[in-house]
């Protein structure tokens, strides 16, 4: 929340700056991306080469980005929303503009498998280009789990959704993403139902499964688990792959954290580079996106953030530590088990949010 609030403050400050900048048609591009999501030397290299100054600002939740986009007049030229359920809706609402593909010659490097999965949300990939993608899985503290349960099923969603298992870890802390669009599909998937189901009966079953494990969950939060895992404060967290890798990277001495894509499969997410409909510098935005489509540039970002990107030619430039990690670049058989979730219509959205509130508060 701290980061979110600071992001809002910074955004307000920047929006003011951006309007001032556009009046003079300066060589500026205003980029609004997730926090800790780029190697900043890439931005310096970009400015050196193109002479375009990058004004970089960050957020830590899709909701904050979406609210700003829907209010309009953000002053941002490049934004990086998650494909589902966010970007789909932003496209429908008319908040983003179509990309001019003639200005993006580096599109040839795009990984077709990723682009194809994304086209479910952005038909024809007309509005966006993949920046990074990953999974929603489990981050856990190896030693604390082993201490409490020697044969813990660490390769399975049982670790979280089986009350008999997860109850063993409640004393040392279990966190869960505060994101109904992630957790309801995960529960559906664990129950063997279609993670994409919009049937109220199925959603009620997912709600029931989540309520059974509710007593053992200490906190629902979408960013606090990074620090808590790294400091060894908690046993396990359902979280986004890259965030858990950040926790692994920042882990204190003697804290051994691991990330796993459970064998039942996991949700895949895509963070997409896109241009707001009212971007003040659309040309510079295209130049920036085209630069980020360079295999060397985006590989540098992957090496820094520990996420897979949607650029197949970048793989050769990626460190072995990243590209050989099956939790980041999953092997083919695991890839097949990863699922994506469509965007929800307003009625289903409300149903899901309501089920989620009910799980969290018992109301």
Partner 1 sequence: MAGLRLFFGRWIVTIVPYVWLLVFFLAPFLIVLKISFSATAIAMPPYVPVFDQLAGFWEKAKELSFDNYLWLTQDALYIKAYLSSLKIAVISTLITLLLGYPMALAMARAPDRLRPILLMAVILPFWTSFLIRVYAWIGILKPEGLLNQALMATGLITEPLQIINTDWAVYIGIVYSYLPFMVLPLYATLEKMDYRLIEAATDLGATPLKAFWQITIPLSLPGILAGSLLVFIPAVGEFVIPDLLGGSDTLMIGRTLWVEFFYNRDWPVASAVAIILLLLLVVPIVIFQKMQERSA
Does position 300 interact with partner 1 (CB under 8 A)? The reply is no
For partner 1, the closer CB: 173 or 195: 173
Instruction: Give 150: exposed, middle or buried? Use CB within 10 Å, 0-12, 13-18, 19+.
Output: exposed
β-pairing verdict for 28-34 and 53-59? parallel
For partner 1, the closer CB: 8 or 334: 8
Q: Report the first-to-last Cα separation within the chain, whole angstroms.
A: 23
Name the one range near partner 1 by CB under 8 A: 27-35, 43-51, 156-164, 350-358: 350-358
Does position 362 interact with partner 1 (CB under 8 A)? The reply is yes
For partner 1, the closer CB: 43 or 226: 226
Restricting to residues 178-197, which ones interact with partner 1 according to CB under 8 A? 178, 180
- Rounded to a whole number of angstroms, the minimum distance from the CB of residue 164 to partner 1 is 22
Does position 263 interact with partner 1 (CB under 8 A)? The reply is no
Residue closest to 229 by CA, chosen among 213, 250, 202, 203: 250
* d(C-alpha 338, C-alpha 288), whole Å: 30
Does position 24 interact with partner 1 (CB under 8 A)? The reply is no
Restricting to residues 111-170, which ones interact with partner 1 according to CB under 8 A? none
The one among 117, 144, 300, 360 contacting partner 1 by CB under 8 A: 360
For partner 1, the closer CB: 201 or 362: 362
- Rounded to a whole number of angstroms, the minimum distance from the CB of residue 358 to partner 1 is 8
For partner 1, the closer CB: 2 or 150: 2
Query: How would you write 295-336 as a 3-class SS string?
Result: HHHHHHHHHHHCCEECEHHHHHHCCHHHHCCCCCCCCHHHHH
Q: Where are the beta strands (DSSP E) in the chain?
A: 28-34, 53-59, 78-79, 128-141, 174-176, 219-220, 236-240, 257-260, 267-274, 308-309
Task: For residue 8, report the phi and psi dihedrals to the nearest 5 degrees.
Answer: -60, -45
Q: Using CB under 8 A, list all residues that contact partner 1.
A: 1-2, 5, 61, 63-64, 66-67, 69-72, 89, 92-95, 173, 178, 180, 217-221, 233, 277, 346, 349-350, 353-354, 357, 360-363
């Amino acid at each position: 929340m701290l980061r979110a609030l600071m992001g809002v403050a910074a955004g307000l400050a920047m929006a003011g700056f951006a309007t001032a900048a556009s009046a003079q048609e300066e060589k500026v591009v205003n980029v609004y991306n997730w926090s800790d999501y780029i190697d900043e030397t890439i931005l310096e290299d970009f400015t050196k080469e193109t002479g375009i100054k990058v004004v970089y600002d960050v957020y830590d939740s899709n909701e904050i980005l979406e609210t700003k986009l829907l209010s309009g007049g953000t002053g941002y030229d490049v934004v990086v929303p998650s494909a589902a359920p966010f970007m789909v809706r932003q496209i429908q609402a008319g908040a983003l503009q179509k990309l001019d593909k003639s200005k993006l010659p580096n599109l040839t490097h795009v990984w077709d498998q990723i682009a194809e999965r994304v086209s479910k949300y952005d038909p024809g990939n007309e509005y966006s280009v993949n920046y990074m993608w990953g999974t929603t899985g489990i981050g856990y503290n190896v030693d604390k789990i082993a201490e409490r349960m020697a044969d813990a099923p660490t390769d399975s969603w049982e670790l979280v959704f089986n009350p008999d298992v997860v109850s063993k870890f409640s004393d040392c802390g279990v966190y869960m993403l505060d994101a109904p669009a992630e957790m309801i599909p995960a529960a559906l998937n664990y129950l063997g139902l279609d993670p994409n189901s919009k049937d109220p009966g199925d959603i009620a079953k997912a709600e029931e499964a989540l309520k059974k494990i509710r007593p053992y969950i200490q906190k629902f939060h979408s960013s606090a688990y990074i620090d808590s895992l790294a400091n060894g404060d908690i046993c396990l967290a359902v979280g986004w792959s890259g965030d858990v890798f950040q926790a692994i990277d920042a882990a204190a001495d003697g804290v051994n954290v691991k990330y796993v894509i459970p064998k039942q499969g996991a949700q895949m997410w895509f963070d997409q580079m896109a241009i707001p409909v009212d971007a003040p510098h659309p040309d510079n935005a295209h130049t920036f996106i085209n630069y980020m489509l360079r295999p060397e540039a985006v590989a540098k970002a992957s090496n820094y953030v520990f996420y897979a990107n949607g650029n197949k030619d970048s793989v050769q430039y990626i460190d072995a530590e990243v590209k050989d990690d099956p939790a980041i670049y999953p092997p083919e058989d695991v890839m097949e088990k990863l699922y994506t979730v469509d965007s929800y219509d307003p009625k289903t959205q409300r149903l899901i949010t309501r089920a989620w509130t009910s799980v969290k508060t018992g109301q």
